[in-house]
Amino acid sequence: MKKAVICGVSYQEIEGDELDGCINDAKCMKYLLTTKFNFKESNILMLTDEKNEATICSAKIPTKYNIRKAMHWLIEDCKPGDSLVFFFAGHGTQEEDLDGDEIDGKDETICPSDFRIHGKIVDDEINRTIVRPLPSGVTLHAIVDSCHSGTVLDLPYLCRMNRHGNYEWEDHRPKTGVRKDTSGGQVFLFSGCDDHQNSSDGAELADDVITGAMTYSFFKSIEIGYGSTYGCLLNSMRTVIKDIDNPKSAGHLPRLFGKLKQRLLRSKYKQEPQLTSNMMFNVYKKPFTL
């Protein structure tokens, strides 16, 4: 079975926190999963704070309670052969690590729509909910387009890749010995940037369609055929991000988005998409699929 949780948070009711592209990110991810990777709509749980959705059903708003509930639903009764996806587009932050399980002394968080009232969801909880219980034979892919998201699943290994595509695995297992691994399953996280970086909400795919730069680079890389392996996909995503300010990189996405135009807005931040996993592997040999 294939199951997915897709969260797009625009923070429309919070002055100063509004994001333009996150709801579009969520819609595009649903489109990608259903058209490219054969996910059934009935097995996709969509949480956004789009005004019409909030009016229709409060259970579909990406509040802290609803995201927590959705994460539990995602792994509920999973069996060998299942493919799970967790997607989040919204704000991310860092805060002081209080239990000594971060090598940089900081926890990463995602921000639900009501985080100003009910708080953020910390990476420790995300790991505890959708990583550690994952049984053998089950695969989870997380795609998180937010600031400070590099290790937001608290996975043990980070693929440290340079501009030439060469890489080595960086060990993020805490000296305290706290367990961050699964119960036998495989987990992969593509994140918008490194833990100390910010992600841009600025890829304009059409005159009135804005997406996150990382989400755009993920779709673009798969569309142009660089999604064959994890290494090829990560390297391509980084290339697309670097080309944001290059007018020559503008083009069309005829197969995935029809005639939607690519026009990327200049980002005030530099970001490098990251790959983390619960295991080390050859990123250029392991095939990628959802």
- How many CB atoms within 10 Å of residue 5? 24
Instruction: Give ∠ CA 226-220-237 in degrees, rounded to 5.
Output: 65
- Annotated active-site residue 78? The verdict is no
The rounded radius of gyration (Å) of the Cα atoms in the chain is 18
- Mean pLDDT is lowest, of 10-19, 121-130, 150-159, 168-177, for 10-19
- Nearest one of 80, 288, 75, 275 to 184, comparing CA atoms: 80
pLDDT in tens, 226-272: 999 999 999 999 998 877 645 444 444 434 333 323 333 444 447 88
Q: What does the pLDDT read at residue 203?
A: 52
The dihedrals phi and psi of 158, each to the nearest 5 degrees, come to -115, 135
- Nearest one of 274, 267, 260 to 246, comparing CA atoms: 267
In angstroms, how far is the first alpha carbon of the chain from the final one? 11
- Top-confidence residue, 254 or 110: 110
**Dihedral through CA 191, CA 197, CA 198, CA 202, nearest 10?**
-70
- Stated as kind and residue range, the H or E segment containing 183 is none
Residue 106 pLDDT > 90: no
- Selecting among 28, 147, 159, 193, the annotated active-site residue is 147
- Give the span between the Cα atoms of 72 and 125, in whole angstroms: 11
Q: What does the pLDDT read at residue 209?
A: 63
- Nearest one of 49, 48, 46 to 12, comparing CA atoms: 49
Query: What percentage of the chain carries pLDDT values higher than 90?
Result: 62
- Per-residue tokens: 139: 């695969």
Q: What does the pLDDT read at residue 99?
A: 82
- Give the span between the Cα atoms of 211 and 203, in whole angstroms: 5
- Give the span between the Cα atoms of 167 and 161, in whole angstroms: 4
Residue 124 pLDDT > 70: yes
pTM: 0.89
- Annotated active-site residue 172? The verdict is no
Q: What does the pLDDT read at residue 12?
A: 82
- Give the span between the Cα atoms of 203 and 249, in whole angstroms: 12
- Contact between 263 and 211 under an 8 Å Cβ cutoff? The reply is no
The residue type found at 91 is H
- Mean pLDDT computed over every residue of the chain: 86
Map out the domains of the chain as residue ranges: 2-277
Query: What CATH number was assigned to the domain covering residues 2-277?
Result: 3.40.50.12660
Q: What does the pLDDT read at residue 250?
A: 42
pLDDT in tens, 36-87: 999 999 999 999 998 775 555 788 999 999 999 999 999 999 999 999 999 9
- Give the span between the Cα atoms of 34 and 16, in whole angstroms: 34
Range among 20-24, 155-159, 175-179 rated most confident: 155-159
- Give the span between the Cα atoms of 31 and 97, in whole angstroms: 37
Q: What does the pLDDT read at residue 174?
A: 85
- How many CB atoms within 10 Å of residue 15? 7
- Selecting among 91, 141, 148, 172, the annotated active-site residue is 91
Query: What percentage of the chain carries pLDDT values higher than 70?
Result: 85
